[in-house]
């Protein structure tokens, strides 16, 4: 690795808030790259061309991972790499590609070397089911509670041990990370949150009562507990990214800052800019 001093990636909130946001990560020159691809034909063909051109470093020896696919594959890659200090540079071979850079084969090592890092901390979900089973999962986008059958769910909400909503009648409710605030949270009419805001959006999904409750913005240190009311009559599933736990009676969610994953973005389109720009998209 380079002897260049480490820099604080975009979104890292240690020290002075927002200081050195969007700085470059330090790499060897050229960085050693591992290529991972979604199972789609486009992603696999793209990987074959890139490997033929730049080689493919074993994961244990790489400086960075290049992920080829869409946002769903990026989430899978982040989960796969938990426990490894490897930044991920995504190139869009999917549909939306909000977490990805534009696909371009030329000068890829230099693009990775010049990229800016955004730090993501996942939400950790602890769920208890009707049978007493306990499940745990991580989410880089959101944790959502969803009704399983025709009847609306009834959910009580606690924040940091204090009851905040005695009964929410709804199709569901979610809590998202700042990076995930532009995904399901936005579709449910929740607010978009900048990476540096230290906030987690809590958003109802098709709330029936209280009809005018639109959710809340919580500090990133908050612990949220969802208690499912009438679970036999109104069963609820909890979903953390792509991990689903059915028939839950209690779900606790908090940000896990012990885990930090670094996404790399081209300097002209860092993640912080994408999140701001999304608020003006019509």
Q: Which residues are catalytic?
A: 71
Positive/negative CA dihedral, 185, 189, 195, 200: negative
DSSP H/E element including 128: strand 123-129
DSSP states along 234-273: S-EEEEETTEEE-SEEEEEEEE-TT--EEEEE-TTS-HHH
Antiparallel, parallel or unpaired: β 88-92 and 261-265: parallel
Contact 188, 209 (CB under 8 A): no
Place of tokens 């499912």: 228
Q: Which two tokens stand for residue 253?
A: 């969610």
**Which element (helix H / strand E) includes 123?**
strand 123-129
């Amino acid at each position: 690795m380079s002897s260049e001093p480490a820099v604080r990636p975009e979104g890292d909130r240690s020290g002075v808030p927002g200081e050195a946001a969007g700085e470059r990560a330090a790499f060897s020159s050229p960085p050693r790259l591992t290529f991972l691809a979604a199972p789609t034909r486009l992603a696999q063909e793209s990987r074959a061309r890139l490997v033929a051109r730049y080689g493919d470093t074993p994961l244990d020896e790489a400086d960075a991972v290049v992920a080829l696919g869409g946002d769903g594959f990026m989430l899978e890659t982040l989960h796969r790499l938990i426990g490894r200090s490897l930044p991920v540079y995504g190139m869009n071979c999917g549909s939306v590609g909000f977490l990805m850079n534009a696909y371009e084969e030329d000068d890829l090592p230099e693009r990775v070397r010049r990229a800016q890092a955004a730090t993501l901390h996942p939400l950790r979900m602890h769920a208890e089911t009707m049978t007493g089973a306990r499940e745990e999962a991580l989410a880089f986008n959101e944790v959502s509670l969803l009704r399983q059958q025709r009847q609306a769910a009834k959910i009580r909400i606690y924040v940091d041990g204090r009851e905040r909503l005695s009964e929410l009648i709804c199709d569901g409710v979610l809590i998202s990370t700042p990076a995930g605030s532009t995904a399901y949270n936005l579709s449910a009419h929740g607010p978009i949150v900048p990476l540096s805001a230290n906030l987690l959006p809590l958003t109802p999904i098709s709330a029936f009562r209280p009809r005018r409750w639109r959710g809340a913005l919580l500090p990133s240190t908050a612990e949220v507990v969802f208690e499912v009311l009438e679970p036999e009559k109104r069963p609820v599933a909890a979903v953390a990214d792509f991990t689903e736990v059915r028939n839950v009676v209690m779900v606790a969610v908090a940000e896990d800052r012990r885990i930090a994953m670094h996404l790399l973005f081209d300097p002209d389109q860092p993640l912080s800019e994408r999140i701001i720009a999304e608020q003006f998209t019509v």
